[in-house]
Structure 1
Amino acid sequence: MTPERQEANRIATGPHFRPRIALIALGLLAGLGGVVAVGSLALAATTERVVTNRFSGLAIEGFDPLAYFVDGRPEMGLPDFEAAEGGVVWRFRNEGNRASFVAHPEVYGPQFGGYDPVDLARGVTVAGNPLFWLVAGNRLYLFGYEDSRDAFAANPAPYLKEAKSRWPVLEEQLAQ
């Protein structure tokens, strides 16, 4: 091998080349994440029984689950008002919301652990996005996509029937 080729080979496989490979790989992964993700909310885990941000440990991205009922819109919870329930941390806007949730998490928490009921009806678990939501039958549902929410809102009965029948098996398959 000529000295020029040896030098080129050293540069291509040497210590300066590995960071370039890592940067390229990260760039590709970030690009794929943008395709799969819906904004920054894609950090939610889809292997937990309750949809949880894998980095912060917060359920439903830190949104106050009672705000959907009380305020009629998603509102971020505050670190001063937290409660641990179902193995995750929930945040609330005030002490009253926190107390109501702790007394009745099955009522105020998102149904199916925050997974999209339309996708559950198809037999798959897709993390719901707290910005795509609906309160129906005095229960909170989160959806992975706006189209799923709209389809559910138009006729929730068949989706709920199928999601409820599939949820026990799908929930069991999720990590504990």
Structure 2
Amino acid sequence: MKRAIHTLSALAFAIFPAGAAFAGPQFVDATGFAVSGYDVVAYRDLDQSAPGDEQPAAVPGRADITADYNGATFAFANEANRDAFLENPEFYAPQYDGHCAYGVSKGGKVPGNPNLWRIVDDKLYLNITKNVVTFWEEDIPGNINLAEGNWPGIEPDAASTNPIPNFSSPAPEK
């Protein structure tokens, strides 16, 4: 039996390489861009705050420096960031297709706010509101574990169409 399971796992990995198996509809808001037009590569250059402290604001992208990935257009602050993204989009794209990580840990898809972010184990996670960030940060590893377990079951669902509460995103600059 173990051999059969191992063979099925190997077959699934061959058909659906890591990362590609669960790429679903990317959250795109009224800006028409993934992550509300903010530069996903730029997060790596921001000084991340300790849990409980507000993170630095995300860096807006430009409408004339873009790349397509996972059915959505991502905007970047500069060409170097776009080029880095194109070399490894799975590294830079937010987890759960830009949906709120805490929402996914609870079994649903709601939009992620690009200014409520955290990088954990080299992965970018977004959340929806400051209150949700408080719950998320009470047990980040446990919430990631729950989200990872829930994601395969909710991933095929359509992307959230809800607006991000208390958030207005400027359209990416030209």
TM bracket, shorter-chain basis: 0.5 to 0.7
Which ranges in structure 1 are unaligned for 5 or more consecutive residues?
Answer: 1-47
Secondary structure of 2:104's counterpart equals helix
Other-structure match for 2:126: 142
Amino acid at match of 2:34: A
Rounded to whole Å, the distance in 2 between the matches of 1:107 and 1:150 is 25
Out of 46, 56, 63, the residue aligned to residue 71 of structure 1 is: 46
Deviations for 1:71-129, whole angstroms, at most 9, x for unmatched residues? 34401001221111111110001111101111111111111111111111111111111
Determine the C-alpha separation between the residues in 1 that align with 2:157 and 2:107. Answer: 12
Aligned partner of 1:49 among 11, 21, 25: 25
Partner SS, residue 90 of structure 1: strand
Q: 1:101: which partner in 2?
A: 85
Output the TM-score relative to the length of structure 2: 0.68
Contact kept, 8 Å, 1:134 with 1:153, in 2: the verdict is no
1:81 and 2:65 aligned: yes
SS in 2 for 1:173: coil
Q: Secondary structure at the match of 1:172?
A: coil
Alignment root-mean-square deviation, CA? 1.6
* SS of residue in 1 equivalent to 2:84: helix
Q: Secondary structure at the match of 1:124?
A: coil
* 1:152 and 2:136 are equivalent in the alignment: yes
The match for 2:37 is 62
* 1:97 match: secondary structure: helix
Q: Which runs of 5+ in 2 are unaligned?
A: 1-23, 48-55, 160-174
Question: Matched residue pairs, number?
Answer: 127
What is the CA–CA distance in structure 1 between the aligned matches of 2:45 and 2:64, rounded to whole Å? 19
Deviation at 1:68, TM superposition (A): 1.0
State how far apart, in whole Å, the 2-side matches of 1:166 and 1:113 are.
14
CA shift, 1:151, in A, is 2.7
Distance (Å, rounded) in 1 between the aligned partners of 2:125 and 2:102 = 10
CA–CA distance in structure 2, aligned partners of residues 148 and 102 of structure 1: 31
Q: Deviation above 3 Å: which 4+ runs of structure 1?
A: none
Q: Distance in 1 between matches of 2:84 and 2:134?
A: 29
* Higher RCO by CA contacts (8 Å cutoff, separation 6 or greater): 2
Distance in 2 (CA, whole Å) between partners of 1:160 and 1:154 is 12
Amino acid in the other structure paired with 1:67: A
> TM-score scaled to structure 1, two decimals?
0.67
Q: Report the 3-state secondary structure (helix = DSSP H, G, I; strand = E; otherwise coil) of the residue aligned with 1:79.
A: strand
Contact 1:76/1:92 (<8 A) preserved: yes
- What code does the residue aligned with 2:92 have? Y
Give the structure with the higher percent helix: 1
Q: Percent identity?
A: 28
Counterpart position of 1:16: none
